[in-house]
Structures are given as C-alpha cells and as structure tokens.
Amino acid sequence: MISLPEPVTLGSVDCSRMGALVRPPRRAVVSLAYKAASACPARAREAAAAPAPAAYPLLSKGSKGEDVRQLQAALNAAGASPGLNADGDFGARTDAAVRAFQAKRGLVVDGFVGGGTWSSLLGHEVKVVSHPGGLVAPAVLGLFRDANELAPGRSKASDGTLPSPAHLKQNPNSGHNTGNAGDLTHDPDAGFDCREWAAKALEDPRCLYVIFDRRISSRARRAEGWRPYTGTNGHTAHMHVEVDPAQREDASPWPWAPS
C-alpha cells in the first residue's frame, strides 16, 4: 500500500514543447497528494500573473492556501469575469470561474483543478507518461469532494491518490496504480472520523474494500467482518478505499456526503 503521509508523486512528465523528461520534486500540496512536475519555462500572461508552481496540486472547492491564490491570479489573467479576489480561498466564485474556464477550453467541466487545467491556464503541455491508469477515477475524486464538504477544515496530510514509482513496483495490484483508490486522512477533531466512515464506505456498491487501523474488510468477504491487515503500512492515519474499476466513472455522492 502507499506510504503516507509523505505526498505521493506522479511519474515523469513530458514537456513536449521542450522535448525533455523531468522528475517531479516533492512538495506539500493543499488538497490531494496528486501532482506532476514541469520544467518548461512559464509562457504568456497567465504565467506572469501566477508563476508556474513546481508541481501541480489537485485543487477543488474548499481548498485553501498559496496554490489557490496562484490559481485565482491565473484565472483573472485568463479573463475571469467577474474578477476574483486572490485570497487563497477556493469558494463558490472560484469554483464558477474554474468551470467557466474549463468549458471555454474544452476540458472536463468538473470544478477540479488538476494537471490538465493547470497546464491550460499556464501555457504548458503536460503528459503523464509513466502512470498506467492515466487519471484519477471520478468516483475517487468524489471521496475527497464529499469529505471536504462534510469537514471543510479537515487535515489532508495523509490524503493520497496516485502512486510513487516505488509503489508501482512494490504493489502491482493496488488500485492506486490505476487511479481507482483513495486515502482519506483520519481527523475526528475536524469532523472526519474514519472509525465511522470506513464501515459506511462498504455500504456503497462502488467500494471493493477498505483498509483502516491495521484492519481490512471487503464486500466479497463481508460476512467475515473486519480482518487483521498485515501490510507494511497499517493505514492508521488514513483509510484506504478501493473502487471497483467497472464503476470508476460513477461520481455520485458517497455515504459521508452532506444531505
């Protein structure tokens, strides 16, 4: 399983305009531990307004911090109307501006700012070349969307999606390797208690299994209840939710989504 809380890295990135492959540096991210690096120089006024980050964090409504301020500045430079206050708070107006930009550029209109939206905003071409699954499943993104809505101030220190190169080799069957798994940080003080939601996740037909606090439970073996998990990562700081690949496109609410 993935080693957290250290942010997981995506593979090499092909800056095709430069004809060079580079490795992404490690850095903290605001939302998910999902990132891709780029050594291509910033171009155009979007980059002048918001210098290209060393890595692309995945941002969405509820995210906060310097990465969000850079996003807001880039959206303003790209013609966001009405203009945004670059306050570092990804709220309703920023969400609307992101969706408008995505629609204008022919991107998936989902409000999530990942590599595709960043590269379009900043004038970079980014192509993931070493991750076999390509993109995080919409169902997995929904895990974080709903957790953020339930507990906006929750810690994301152990959140994770895509794997490091080492994880790809060590855990070839993990759903992380194909974008079909997500790790959600256990933060009961801020309103997201994995002791409650780990069991609830299994009630969703998209969930194949859950690992939390050195225990595992799966839909296929539900009658056995929670079993000891002996992997090297005990998943004590987060819960791992494995999504059925056949249902990865289903982004409907998870059990913890506010009603």
Per-residue tokens: 151:
């507990």
Digit-coded pLDDT (tens) for 155-167: 888 888 766 666 6
Identify the CA nearest to 209 among candidates 174, 251, 178.
Answer: 174
Q: What angle (nearest 5°) sits at the alpha carbon of residue 136, between those of residues 133 and 138?
A: 125
21 bridge partner residues: 14
Digit-coded pLDDT (tens) for 46-81: 333 333 333 467 889 999 988 888 888 888 878 888
Handedness of CA 118, 171, 206, 190 (dihedral sign): negative
Per-residue pLDDT at 172 exceeds 60: yes
Q: What's residue 163's pLDDT?
A: 66
Please state whether beta strands 13-15 and 127-128 pair in parallel, antiparallel, or not at all (unpaired): antiparallel
Most confident of 65-79, 110-124, 235-249: 235-249
Digit-coded pLDDT (tens) for 121-146: 776 433 333 334 456 788 888 898 89
CA-based end-to-end distance of the chain: 32
Structure letter (DSSP) for residue 199: H
Within 10 A of 134 (CB to CB), how many other CB atoms are there? Answer: 10
